[in-house]
Amino acid sequence: MAHKLQPLADRVLVRPLAAEEVRASGIVIPDSAKKKSKEGEVLAVGPGKIDEAGQRVVMELKVGDVVLFPDWGGNDYELDGEELKIFSESDILAIVKK
């Protein structure tokens, strides 16, 4: 999926995934009690940063990966009414395997 934003260096464009609205027990959690999602889908990745030897470092993440990211850090960006985040690859905590 091509996206309108192309991250530079080791940056990653992430779409936060919606947190579950209803618990397995059927209890609906109000918005005021929800934590922000910490999972997101990678929409685009940069080409990788250049190391001290002048070599490009290959990115570990790829488009379509579902990742875990911290509450802090990253830059918020809105595009076409969609809330997105841009992180350095090193700020991403993990790839979520399902």
Q: Total structural domains in the chain?
A: 1
Contact 42, 84 (CB under 8 A): no
Is 67 inside any structural domain?
A: yes
What is residue 18's predicted lDDT score, i.e. its pLDDT? 81
Is 70 inside any structural domain?
A: yes
pLDDT-based confidence at 2, cuts 50/70/90?
A: low
Q: How many CB atoms lie within 10 A of CB 10?
A: 21
Token couple for 45: 């990745």
Is 1 inside any structural domain?
A: no
The SS3 of residue 89 is helix
**pLDDT per residue as tens digits for the range 57-90:** 999 999 999 999 998 889 999 988 899 999 999 9
